[in-house]
Amino acid sequence: MKNKIENEIQGILCEILNDYKKDRAVDKMDIYNQPDKQEIMEILENLLTIVYPGFFRDKTHKIYNVEHTVSTLIEDVIFHLNKQIAVVLKYTKAFGENGEEQVEEFAAKASVAFLKTIPKVREYLETDLQAAYDGDPAARSKDEIIFSYPGIYAITVYRLAHELFLLDVPMIPRMMTEQAHSKTGIDIHPGATIGKYFFIDHGTGIVVGETTVIGEHVKLYQGVTLGALSTQGGQKLRDVRRHPTIKDNVTIYSGASILGGGTVIEEGVVIGGNSFITKSIQKGTKVSVKNQELVYHSEDDRLHRQDSDESWFYVI
């Protein structure tokens, strides 16, 4: 067996090396001119420390050195972010053919502009925390929400990534939100527009598409999809509005799908669990799926009766 492996290994090596020479997307070898995923994830971790200084901070830094600590973090973030933005700009048509000077100038401006949005991000997150605390009777404190709720983690990463998206920084915002997606099961595209007091309860399986617009005081439960009616057009649909608008004070229960760029869910609407919606819903409406028929097999006739009960509507 050992001799067989030794005899075959050189041939396998040659086949794989020759396969690298086919000039496909999977054959790219210029690792120094591609974004560094690990470095971007480290930037994200430092940003979380800046946003929540008492929750994610490095415990080796004393609290009375907070000014020095935050200064160091900001310098670290802006240095590495600037470098990674310069790398990803080469993937865009606008900068692909430009010289290093133009790329470096844009990267520097974008890095500085992004760091200046941190107070705004924190303002929005404070409202999201309040919405989570007010909306979940299981929450004992806002500290518990920050430490343990996947929804607030996904929203935090989204709000940071969204600011980079608005600055026309390619690739990095999506890498950030996909990191949150992999950790929480919550997929929020950085291009989505989401207002204050946004609450995600439980969260697993939620999808919020790129052109989705969400107002204030909106609550989503697990398994909700705010998606496109169809993506058969592929790249032809890029920059086309294909995801729904959710206005203020809307609650969407688990498993509901709301699809289409022309679909508007007006203020105060409640969408019941497992609803499938492709048309606009008027203000103040409650939408539910007709109660399914349950079949019981038992000698006890009492178990065959079905009382009128709308509790199934609110499946959480």
| pLDDT tens per residue across span 279-315 | 999 999 999 987 777 777 777 666 555 555 555 555 5
Specify if 104 maps to a domain. yes
Specify if 298 maps to a domain. no
My answer on whether 144 and 182 are in the same domain is yes
My answer on whether 313 and 201 are in the same domain is yes
- Is the pLDDT confidence value at 6 over 90? no
My answer on whether 182 and 218 are in the same domain is no
Specify if 22 maps to a domain. no
Specify if 173 maps to a domain. yes
Would you state the pLDDT for residue 3? 75
- Is the pLDDT confidence value at 242 over 80? yes
Q: Can you give the residue range of the structural domain that contains 131?
A: 30-186
Up-side HSE of residue 138: CA atoms within 13 Å toward CB?
6
Select from 125, 152, 186 the last residue of a domain.
186
My answer on whether 139 and 63 are in the same domain is yes
d(CA 33, CA 39): 14
My answer on whether 91 and 124 are in the same domain is yes
State the total domains in the chain: 2
Q: What is the CATH number of the domain that holds 214?
A: 2.160.10.10
